[in-house]
Structures are given as structure tokens and as C-alpha cells.
Amino acid sequence: MKKTNLLLIFVVALAILTSCKDHKCKCDCDDWQSLVPEGTFCYSDEGRTEEMLDYKEVIDMLKNFDRTRIAPLESALGYQDARIHNYNFDQFKKYLAHVENLSKKANVKITGISFIAGVKENYKGKGKGYQDLIYIPTTTINGKQIPFDPLHSARQGKLVTFKEMLAKHGYKWIYNTIEEFKEGKNPNYDYSLPIKKQNEAGFFAPSYDDGKSGAGNKGQLQPPY
């Protein structure tokens, strides 16, 4: 093995060891970014986090869903809707790594992730539509968590919101703020928009941007079984 390779391994190992305190190893890639592949992000186990629930909270939430949602949904649909959304753990981590890398290139800070309810029509050929979740990162704008498209943000080198991209593809998004929701709510539940063409601001028409998004999904729903 070349001496330069041995030196590189030593420097990386030293960087990791010197960041470990009290048997908790913190990996901060920004301190030695030149020594790791682009798109590598490091995290450490900081112990129990604030969003982790107690079982009383879990059971209260489950019971409230049972009491207030199951019967109305079954009555409206004629069958039980999906309640569980399973995602492959490794694949989800790959998604997070990719959107974090795209967001870094666009200089947009990810501050959250939104899980948005939708319905997958004729799920697995069953002739029924089941509730599913679309997930997409968010950034903080004026104190609000605003979903944005990391793919198109990276392509354009600036923040491109989910709302902007949906509008260009023919859908009106009204859920960024309570004010937008109250003003934009449609009693017919039709939020279709005419597809926008490229404008002076440089937004790409759907025919140009190839229809791809920075949102994710690809999960398994239960029920149905």
C-alpha cells in the first residue's frame, strides 16, 4: 500500500477518533469534507430524541383514530382505507441522502420533511383507491415549514417550492399557510390549474423539465393485504 494511502487513512481515522467523547462518536463531515465522497452525510446517535412518544400518547392517538375515522371512511368508501404505510429503510435513507445533496447544491437548508396524503388509484389492480403518502423536504420561510422541490432547486440553483412546481403541472396547492388554505379552499374539491408555460422568471414548462419531481413514495399499504 502506498504511503499516501496510509496517510489518508490515518488522517480520516484521527478525525473520527478526536470527535468521539464519552463513548459517543460524532461524525462531522464538514471538518474533513475533502476526504469523503461528495454526497456523504454523517449523523450520530444523540440518545432519545424529543419526538419519541410514550405509549400513553401512542394509544391515545390510535384510539382517537379508531373512534373518529374508521366508521366514516368505511361508510364513504365501502371498504377500509389504508392505515399503514411501509417504506424500505435502506431505500428511504438513499432518498434522504439524494435530496440532501441536491438541496446543498441549491444552497437550500432542509429543516423538515412533509408527509402528504394522496390516493393511489386502482392500487395493485384491486379496482380501489387507497390513501398513500407523498414525502418531500421542507425549508423554513417566515417561520413556516414550506415544502420545496430539491431536484428543481438544484437544476435552477435557487429555491423552487413544491407549490410552484405543482402549479406548473396543473395543480393548485393551498396548504402552505392557514391563510392560503382559507382563501383557496374550493367546495368542489377541484384544484386543477391550466399548465403554465415558461415565463420571464425562467420557470420551465413541463415539456422541458421532463416531469420528474423531488418527491418520494414507493411504499406498501396495509390494508389491503
pLDDT of 159-195, one tens digit each?
Answer: 999 999 999 999 999 999 999 999 999 999 999 999 8
Residue 60 lies in a domain: no
Provide the H-helix boundaries in the chain: 3-18, 55-65, 71-77, 89-105, 150-156, 162-168, 178-184, 206-209
Asked if residues 130 and 85 have their Cβ atoms less than 8 Å apart, the reply is no
Residue 30 lies in a domain: yes
175/161 Cα distance (integer angstroms): 12
Q: What is the mean pLDDT of the chain?
A: 86
Predicted TM-score of the model (pTM)? 0.80
Quote the number of domains for the chain.
2
70/165 Cα distance (integer angstroms): 33
* Same domain? 110 vs 195: yes
* Same domain? 194 vs 132: yes
Residue 201 lies in a domain: yes
pLDDT of 1-33, one tens digit each?
Answer: 555 555 555 555 555 545 444 444 445 555 555
79/135 Cα distance (integer angstroms): 25
* Same domain? 122 vs 22: no
* Same domain? 170 vs 113: yes
Residue 70 lies in a domain: no
* Same domain? 192 vs 122: yes
191/174 Cα distance (integer angstroms): 9
* Same domain? 38 vs 120: no
Residue bearing cell 410514550: 54
Residue 198 lies in a domain: yes
Residue 69 lies in a domain: no
Buried residues in 164-181 as b, exposed as e (16+ CB within 10 A):
bbbbbeeeebeebeeeee
Residue bearing cell 459517543: 24
Residue 158 lies in a domain: yes
The residue segments making up the domain with residue 17 are 10-46
Residue 66 lies in a domain: no
* Same domain? 100 vs 197: yes
